[in-house]
Amino acid sequence: MMSTRQISRNKGGDGVKQSRRDILKLGAITIAGAVIPLSAFELLTPEALASTKKHGAGKRWGFVVNATKCVGCGMCVKACKTENEVPFDVNVSRTWVERYVQLKDGEVIIDSPKEARNGFIKNDPQGRQVKEEDIAKGFFVPKLCNQCEKPSCVQVCPVGATYRTEDGVVLVDRTWCIGCAYCVQNCPYGARFIHPDPKVNVAEKCTFCYHRITKGLNSACSDACAFGARKIGDINDPESEVHKLITNNRVMVLKPEYGNEPMVFYIGLDHIVR
Amino acid sequence: MSHAWRPLFVVIGLLAVVFIGRAVFVPSDFSAKNGDYKYQWHREGNEDDWKNFKVKYKGGKEYCGECHDDEFTWISASKHANVQCENCHGPALGHPEEGPEKLAIDRSRDLCLRCHAKLPYRPTTYNELPSGPIRLAMQDPDEHNTDVECVECHDVHKADFKE
């Protein structure tokens, strides 16, 4: 007698007998195989590789932030807002500086009051009084648009108003943008906002100071930094400072899990940075 | 003609409207560079729009040095050598001819404290001078000569004391 736990394909014959367990096993393997996306078989490129590989044929603008050098003076934010006509007293900015303070009990306090346009001049993270002896560590992290290789903000634009230039800068066409703010929602880095000036009133973001870098100048923020924390240049040019910084240091990008492939590389990021 | 054809004319008519509308409203330089419809589909003229945005920061103390020789010479030899004039005086667009004839002078303590306030999480060394690394000089604003402007005692362009 066949046990209730067995079924036979070939009733009565001497053919293959398969237990229910075997079939379940096979099924499970098949399903497991089917749900693994093809992308899982791609070799995972380590960050270092991703940063040193050549991007595109010609020039590729990239940025290196050395977070270990930043003192949080916010001169970059001041210069950026003035240079790019983002109203100074409104709480939005193309670039900003975040303060991370980790207490000895593990709590992490993050803030960026007024995007740090007036700098950090007091030890008052989120307006709190924090005793120096309670602080385990702390640092500043300058942020800006990552000018991604695969910008998710561009993908969602319904009208083709935002795009990546050949040299790798993501721009917004102000005459074409309808201000729907899908891109604002879809940027994992919160780098976009709607321009507060009613005369503009469309999506706004860091342009790497496209009007400056295409004239051989630096971006306003990197010029303003007296601490060498912000460097901009052609990452495809082996002679450029940014290329050397990327190849000679251990660099990271923000939120690599989103797959946007940022072109802003960080030196000295900590795991508490978001 | 059979009434069965009528929907076809409606469709052709609609298509015509769409294509004429597109020709009128969509700029002719709208295209996908490198065949990349995903990321490079745009109006090409917009690249020039951004390139023509007005530059406001001269971005180098050499420009200022043409006329303000003293400040330029002092600051270049000081620990403030990497601090741009325009950080403290604002962008020099049109200065001195058609823009601001005189740039702003900010004598507030808050200006200096942006870089000099003592915060427990600021880096402690400063590495950007050719003479080598030095200690980053920080002051507790609640203790260091409160209520007096820093420039009463310090010469900012020399990063030192006033004579």
CA angle (B24 as vertex; A182, A171 as ends), nearest 5: 35
* pLDDT tier for residue A14 given thresholds of 50, 70 and 90: low
CA distance B156 to chain A (A): 15
Q: What is the pLDDT of residue A28?
A: 78
Q: Kindly tell me if the per-residue pLDDT of A10 is higher than 80.
A: no
State the Cα–Cα distance between residues A61 and A108, nearest whole angstrom: 33
Tell me the pLDDT band of A11, cut-offs 50, 70 and 90: very low
Q: Which of B38, B91, B121 sits opposite A138 (nearest CB)?
A: B121
Strand A264-267 and strand A61-66: the pairing is parallel
What average pLDDT score do residues A220-248 get? Answer: 96
Check: CB of residue A164 under 8 Å from CB of residue B40.
Answer: yes
CB contact under 8 A, B57 and A223: yes
Nearest CA in chain B to A169: B47
- Show residues of chain A in contact with B134, CB under 8 Å: none
Residue A149 structure tokens: 């290789």
Question: And the tokens for A273?
Answer: 């940075």
Confidence of residue A45 (pLDDT cuts 50, 70, 90): very low
C-alpha B150/C-alpha A56 separation (Å) is 50
Q: Please, which pLDDT band fits residue A206 given cuts at 50, 70 and 90?
A: very high
3-class DSSP assignment, residue A242: helix
- State the pLDDT confidence band at A16, using cuts at 50, 70 and 90: low
- pLDDT interval class at A34 (50, 70, 90): low
ipTM of the complex: 0.89
Count of Cβ atoms closer than 10 Å to residue B100 Cβ? 14
Determine the pLDDT at residue A43.
44
What confidence tier does A46 reach under pLDDT thresholds 50, 70, 90?
Answer: very low
Q: Is A27 buried (19+), middle (13-18) or exposed (0-12) by CB count in 10 A?
A: exposed
CB contact under 8 A, B40 and A123: no
Indicate the helix (H) or strand (E) that contains A184.
Answer: helix A182-186
| Distance of alpha carbon A145 from alpha carbon A151, whole angstroms | 10
pLDDT at A68: 96
**Inter-chain residue contact B51 with A160, CB threshold 8 Å:** no
State pLDDT tens for residues A163-181: 999 999 999 999 999 999 9
Phi–psi pair at A134, nearest 5 degrees: -85, -10
Q: Which of B52, B90, B114 minimises the CB distance to A121?
A: B114
The answer on pLDDT for A7 being more than 90 is no
Residue numbers in A near B94 (CB within 8 A): none
Share of chain A above pLDDT 70, in %: 86
For residue A264, the cross-strand partners are: A63
Quickly state the pLDDT bin for A33 (edges 50, 70, 90): low
The total number of residues shown for chain B amounts to: 163
> Residue with structure tokens 């609640």?
B142
B13-20: average pLDDT: 94
Contact state of A228 with B127 under an 8 Å Cβ cutoff: yes
Q: Can you tell me the mean pLDDT for A255-262?
A: 95
B37, B43, B111, B114, best to mutate vs chain A, most A CBs in 10 Å: B114
Give the nearest chain A residue to B114 (CA atoms): A73
Of the ranges A47-56, A82-91, A193-202, which one carries the lowest mean pLDDT score?
A47-56
A133 touches chain B (CB under 8 A): no
Residues of chain B with Cβ-Cβ distance to A140 below 8 Å are 121
Reported as a single tens digit per residue, the pLDDT across B99-158 is: 788 899 999 999 999 999 999 999 999 999 999 999 999 999 999 999 999 999 999 999
Q: Of A86, A48, A61, which is closest to residue A252 (Cα–Cα)?
A: A48
Q: Any CB–CB contact under 8 A between A73 and chain B?
A: yes
8 Å CB contact of B83 and A226? yes
Q: Which of A160, A212, A226 sits opposite B55 (nearest CB)?
A: A212
Which tens digit of pLDDT belongs to each residue from B62-97? 999 999 999 999 999 999 999 999 999 999 998 988
Query: How much is the pLDDT for B2?
Result: 80
Q: Name chain A contacts of B46, Cβ cutoff 8 Å.
A: 171, 173-176
Q: Is the dihedral of CA A121, A223, A172, A238 positive or negative?
A: negative
Name which of A31-40, B9-18, B33-42 the model is least confident about.
A31-40
Q: Is A200 on the interface with B (CB under 8 A)?
A: no
Q: Label residue A49 exposed, middle or buried (CB < 10 Å: 0-12, 13-18, 19+).
A: exposed
* Chain A environment of B86 (Cβ under 8 Å): 79, 223-224
Please name the CATH architecture into which domain A4-267 falls: 2-Layer Sandwich (3.30)
CB contact under 8 A, B117 and A122: yes
Distance from CA of B3 to the nearest CA of A (A): 38
Q: Which residue has the tokens 């996908």?
A: B32
pLDDT interval class at A2 (50, 70, 90):
very low
CB A63 within 8 A of CB A144: yes
Chains A & B: contacts with CB separation below 8 Å: 142
Which residues does chain A have within 8 Å of residue B146's beta carbon, measured at their own beta carbons? Answer: none
Place of tokens 């079939």: A23
Comparing CA positions, the residue from A192, A167, A212 lying closest to residue B50 is A212
Average pLDDT over residues B34-46: 94
In a mutational test of the A interface, the residue from B31, B46, B128 whose CB has the highest number of chain A CBs within 10 Å is B46
- Residues A131-162 pLDDT 10s: 999 999 999 999 999 999 999 999 999 999 99
The Cα B97–Cα A100 span in angstroms is 44
Confidence of residue A97 (pLDDT cuts 50, 70, 90): very high
Q: What is the DSSP letter of B117?
A: B
